[in-house]
Amino acid sequence: MKRFSFNQATAKGWPLPDLAAGCVAEGVTAVGLWREDVQAYGVQRAAGLMRDSGLAVTSLCRGGFFQQPGWFDENRRAIDEAATLGAPVLVLVSGGLPADSRDLDAARAHIGAALGELVPYALAGGVQLAVEALHPMFCSDRCVVSTLEQALDLAAPYPPEAVGVVVDTYHLWWDDDVWAQIGRAGRERRIACFQAADWLTPLPAGVLLGRGLPGTGCVELRRFREAVDAAGYTGPVEVEVFNEELWGRPGRDILAETITRYRTHVA
């Protein structure tokens, strides 16, 4: 449990003060937060709540969406919010194709250039940008970065302390090259965040909410955790699940089951 981090998205709708109190009651010491919820509560207020509760913020999600107008200022705001919260990592969902474009190469090149523009600001704020690869089914609208190799290639021109990658089991479990790329990420000191969620079949309509708690799907979760450990990663293990049925349950029940399944299937 020393490495366990409860991602706020797993209990979407659980008020932040209740989430903090629930984590303290269960002996959880770390959480991953989402910008929309933090902004609604107030960034400074949320930072104070985390400090007063003794909770470390392991990541803030999300920055990115580099295909949208105003991406530069929006990502600078995200970096500021992460720094205020004491989150060492800002997770980047890089965005899909620009409107009326089919040029994947250009979209990925733009992400690489965008990272370069943000790196000085991130370094000054003490926040590591973490490029997350999403499953290819999200390529058109959410993220043109589909493999860990692509994420590592985008990070490569920049210092590891400025740009790393996210290893998310839900998005990467299908890729038979992922084990070699996790090894590469370790050698390059790029693993900024490790997130665990299972893959449910059949996927729900809209596919976004097809994640499951550990042990409810088909992903070799412990193999992933052992792989990142072998690559030298010693940081938090976040459980991050988007599931509408799960969200209908009380937050304390979600947290309790998440802890049990983390211990059984990930740790």
pLDDT in tens, 61-91: 999 999 999 999 999 999 999 999 999 999 9
Radius of gyration of the chain (CA): 17
The alpha carbon dihedral of 160, 134, 154, 59 has a sign of negative
**What pTM was estimated for this model as a whole?**
0.97
Type and span of the H or E element at 52: helix 43-53
Mean pLDDT over all residues of the chain? 98
What's the rounded mean pLDDT across residues 226-247?
98
90 touches 59 (CB < 8 A): yes
pLDDT higher than threshold 90 for residue 206: no
